[in-house]
Amino acid sequence: MATMQDNAAWSGRFNEPVAELVKRYTASVDFDQRLALVDIQGSLAHAQMLAECAIISTQDLQDIRRGLAQIENEVISGDFDWQLDLEDVHLNIEKRLTTLVGDAGKRLHTGRSRNDQVATDIRLYLRHEIDNLVALLKNLQTALLDLAEPNTHTILPGFTHLQVAQPVSFAHHLMAYFEMLQRDTERFVDARRRVNRLPLGAAALTGTSYPIKRERVAELLGFEAVCQNSLDAVSDRDFAIEFTAAAALVMTHLSRLSEELILWMSPRFGFIDIADRFCTGSSIMPQKKNPDVPELVRGKTGRVNGHLVALLTLMKGQPLAYNKDNQEDKEPLFDTVDTLTQTLRIYADMMRGITVKPDAMRAAALQGYATATDLADYLVKKGLPFRDAHEAVALAVRHAEQKGCDLAELKLDELQQFSALITDDIYGVLTLEGSLAARNHTGGTAPQQVTAAIARARKLLAG
């Protein structure tokens, strides 16, 4: 029989070593080593439970704790020697532990498999990252509030179909993104509940014959519950897919805001300026100031959306229970976490570096007959059916367009050609400020309502 390398945990079954190409193709240690600290955390809890259940001795537990403490220090300091031959983070740590403490290290794997071990590691990792992302989302929401608060009376043209529709408070526009990010936060918090369930103890797929106490491990690791079916515990990654879906929605929301920032910064709009530190120039055109950060956010949104599709595709054809396919869950998940973390950090800073140009916004809001709906509402309040009011205002707009002026610039007798119900009080209705003030209800763009919304939002974040 051929001699096998003694560092493979499963080598006794085989009579020839793994080919070098296969070894490189199947190894995951290059990327899953980021799970090292949570792998140690899970192992410590598992070892304590084994000792409490008298499956390993108290001395074994002490030796395991001592060895894992040294390994943790080596990982943190960057001195740990990761070996491709050992395939993954789990076998690298186990081999090092055995080198340090002998047989106690070999006993650590009693009652568990790499299948439930990696599922536990990913959940521990993701739980921590969700907490970080929720904090980053709140920081970005605070940046939005800080920009919105002094701009409750700043008037921006609101668009539908990218055509001027109605005047809107710039702060109200920003608060729309606050609401989106709040739902994103809620999705992460809700997903965390399903992440926070312990697979350890499911072993390879059917559980273990050792008298373990899974609930004790859950308690030690801060899990809210244990996975109730061993097959499900090791084989599904729906919690990772759910997380990535939530992340894709955050990126989609930020991509929409990015598109607006890019448009608003264009000289054709000129509504805002983004601080120089978030922009770049051109190698050939010296006048250029390019909004690279929001452009990259748009691009990276496609990247995260792609990871969601990759994970869904990864899972769709797998029979129960664990399959090697699931090694491919980590890179898209890790990159999603990294991309979203970096994006939220830079976005909050960028929002704090935005300069608002209210005069340009106001001038744009005066184009496109943004108060036409207010004229229609005025007529309805005077007793005209809405459809008749709509037609009358449409004719008035056509008339103003032919004259090259705004509705508010038409004389009273001109407006009265379209409805005798119009009196001189119409000019207060046709102002931009009058249009905003008229939307004075919950969720409306009236400055009074927007100020109240900002106050509610700050209270929400403080809670």
pLDDT digits (tens, 9 = 90+) for 337-363: 999 999 999 999 999 999 999 999 999
Tell me the C-alpha distance between 290 and 74, whole Å: 43
Q: CA nearest 272: which of 360, 348, 362, 347? A: 360
Amino acid at 340: L
Q: What are the structure tokens assigned to 3, written together? A: 């001699």
Q: How confident is the model at residue 55 (pLDDT cuts 50, 70, 90)?
A: very high
Q: Is the pLDDT of residue 376 over 70?
A: yes
pLDDT tens digits, one per residue of 190-222:
999 999 999 999 999 999 999 999 999 999 999
Return the pLDDT at 22. Answer: 87
Q: Which domains does the chain have, with CATH numbers?
A: 13-110 (1.10.275.10), 115-148+169-363 (1.20.200.10), 366-457 (1.10.40.30)
Which pairing describes strands 163-169 and 155-160: parallel, antiparallel, or unpaired? antiparallel
Reduce the secondary structure of the chain to three states and give it as a string.
CCCCCCCCCCHHHCCCCCCHHHHHHHCCHHHHHHHHHHHHHHHHHHHHHHHHCCCCCHHHHHHHHHHHHHHHHHHHHCCCCCCHHHCCHHHHHHHHHHHHHCHHHHHCCCCCCHHHHHHHHHHHHHHHHHHHHHHHHHHHHHHHHHHHHHHCCCEEEEEECCEEEEEEEHHHHHHHHHHHHHHHHHHHHHHHHHHCEECCCCCCCCCCCCCCCHHHHHHHHCCCEECCCHHHHHHCCHHHHHHHHHHHHHHHHHHHHHHHHHHHHCCCCCCEEECHHHCECCCCCCCCCECHHHHHHHHHHHHHHHHHHHHHHHHHCCCCCCCHHHHHHHHHHHHHHHHHHHHHHHHHHHHHCEEECHHHHHHHHCCCCCCHHHHHHHHHHCCCCHHHHHHHHHHHHHHHHHHCCCHHHCCHHHHHCCCCCCCCCHHHHCCHHHHHHHCCCCCCCCHHHHHHHHHHHHHHHHC
Verify whether residue 161 is a known catalytic residue: yes
Angle subtended at Cα 343 by Cα 175 and Cα 274, rounded to the nearest 5 degrees = 65
pLDDT digits (tens, 9 = 90+) for 255-304: 999 999 999 999 999 999 999 999 998 889 888 899 999 999 999 999 99
pLDDT averaged over every residue in the chain:
95
Token duo for residue 78 = 């960057």
Indicate if the pLDDT at residue 443 is higher than 80: yes
Give the bridge partners for 354, in sequence order.
Answer: 274
Contact 111, 203 (CB under 8 A): yes
- Supply the pLDDT for residue 26: 84
Q: Does residue 12 surpass a pLDDT of 70?
A: no
Task: Give 132's strand partners.
Answer: none
Name the maximum alpha-carbon separation found in the chain.
106
So what's the pLDDT on residue 6? 47
What's the pLDDT score for residue 1? 34
Of 161, 209, 283, 441, the catalytic one is 161
Count of CB atoms within 10 A of residue 197's CB? 18
Q: Confidence class of residue 18 from pLDDT cuts 50, 70 and 90?
A: confident
| For range 374-396, the mean pLDDT | 95
Catalytic hit among 90, 109, 253, 282:
282
CA distance 375 to 373: 5
26-35, 59-68, 132-141: least confidently modelled range:
26-35
**CB-based contact 213:49 (threshold 8 Å):** yes
Give pLDDT tens digits for 28-45.
999 999 999 999 999 999
Express each pLDDT in 162-190 by its tens digit.
999 999 999 999 999 999 999 999 999 99
- Please give the backbone phi and psi of residue 163, each rounded to the nearest 5 degrees, phi first: -115, 145
CA 242 – CA 374 distance, rounded (Å): 43
Question: 202, 236 in Cβ contact below 8 A?
Answer: no
pLDDT of the residue at 169: 98
